[in-house]
Chain A
Amino acid sequence: MKGLLEQAAVPGMAPTAPTMANPSVTPPAGAEPESVAGDFNQKDMDLFVVNGVKMIHNTKVSDDIIARVIKSENPVVAVADATLLIVGQLERSAASAGKKISLTTIAHGSNFLMGEIIASAEAAGMKKMDDKTKYQTFSLAMGKYLDEAIKTGKMTKEELIQMGKEAEGTPIGKKMAETAMQMEAPAAAPGASAEIGVPTGMPPATVPAGMPATGRV
């Protein structure tokens, strides 16, 4: 099974799992339980992104969204909401067309669409976002997406719990657990807690094979 919550061991090596270019290695259907996050699908992401870009640059949508973002006192929230707006519209459009897009694919595609919105807003005068702020924005969008998914019943509690456990079993999930264990314990004072810090000796995560190592590709 493939999916968002995974990574290849060595970037640049030949793929070992199904790809658009190498479908012959697709595992038999039903060989494993279906992942909640679903498989990453390059073709679906292409469609998702191009439809989203087209939507973002639709005159009315663009004017509305960019104006909102630029006028916003908190661009992080505004960009996250704008991205979710586009993503929601794309999901509905895809569903009405009988197209099922995996959560994995949506997440990666949303990253590109968010980048597009940020770039457009910056071009229109929004203060340039630094990397940390972009990351906060992406994280907030993820949180709102999952929160809304539970509230609306699009995703069940069981599915979300399962997804969390699937994530915990991945290489990067295990690294995160190690990171957590290396964090300093709360200070002795009752109620005190440690600010997050960077543990020493933690290697950066490996980029999934074939995925761009930088935002600009």
Chain B
Amino acid sequence: MPVAAGAVVGGWALAAGASVATAATVAAVTTAVVTGALVGAAMGAATALVTGGNIIEGVLKGALIGGIVGGAASWLSGAAEAAGAAAEAAATAEAGATAAEVGTGAATTAEAWTGETLPTLGADVAADMGTSAAAQAAEAARVAEAARVVTTPPTQGLLASVAPEESIQVQLAKIASQSKLDMAAANKSALLQSTITSGIGGVAQSYGNVLAAKKTAEAAKEAEIDRIARNQPGFLQTVTAKFKLPSDWLAILPSYKPQTGLLQKGGTT
């Protein structure tokens, strides 16, 4: 069984009661960069959604910029020169195969989701990896000290930084609320009509009215969301018209096919 050193460290730390998150593993990328990537991903995905673009491509574009802002500029800026990482078609087919065939064993693993079992789990992980008790203790002490220094999660309030004008959240809440009111009114109207028009025909008609009202309300809601999103000073609505993904990023995009739209090369719609 392949064993990663980082996991061993994590097991040791857990055995000593330290935090996995701050002592466990070799993370894929740094936390600062992760934060930038996540912010960019959220912005990119949302923009792609409302502009009818490819969500994954939107995420990649947002993450690319987010990574630069997050401190990864030195190696991300060279992305454009690193073209030709892999064959797209093979990658896409392979992705499906992996998802379909791997993981049957995962279901056999019993996970624990209570904090009380954490040290035990950590010890199990360490034991699975054949580490010695003395080495575990020494490493745990070292890691626990490191964890003590860097163990505080993010702090600042997210919504506190939103502009004072009516936020998207408030607007969306209003839409949802109005939509429910519309639906309630439509249902009430349809039911009233069914009581007036007695018989099966009347009931069928009222049912049709309900469905039609529901469809209309949903369409109106979608349109309103789209309008709001487009009217916001969205970052990617500008950005996506200004740059294209480097070719090595395009290579990892599943089933990428050039098409027109805000999220495409040139960005003209």
Contacts and interface: CB of A to CB of B under 8 A. Distances in A.
Are A and B subunits of one complex?
yes
B71 to A, nearest CB: 3
B65 A176 contact: yes
20 contacts: A1-B159, A3-B158, A5-B35, A21-B151, A53-B7, A74-B90, A77-B91, A84-B99, A109-B21, A132-B79, A140-B253, A164-B44, A172-B66, A173-B43, A176-B65, A186-B241, A193-B267, A202-B68, A208-B31, A211-B32
A45 B64 contact: no
B157 A2 contact: yes
Among all A-B residue pairs, the 3 with the closest Cβ atoms: A164-B46, A210-B152, A60-B105
B259 interface: no
Give the interface size bracket for A toward B: 35 or more
Contacts of A215: 26-30
Residue among B28, B66, B76, B90 with the highest chain A CB neighbour number at 10 A: B28
Main secondary structure of the interface of B (DSSP, over half): helix
Given A50-B125, A61-B106, A109-B21, A138 B28 contact: yes
Contacts of A47: 20, 112-115, 118
A196 B65 contact: yes
A198 B77 contact: yes
B97 to A, nearest CB: 8
Interface string B228-243: 0100111110110111
Contacts of B92: 77
B168 A77 contact: no
B168 A165 contact: yes
B96 to A, nearest CB: 9
Contacts of A89: 103, 106-107, 109
A134 to B, nearest CB: 5
B141 interface: no
Interface stretch (B48-56, B131-139, B189-197): B48-56
A42 B151 contact: yes
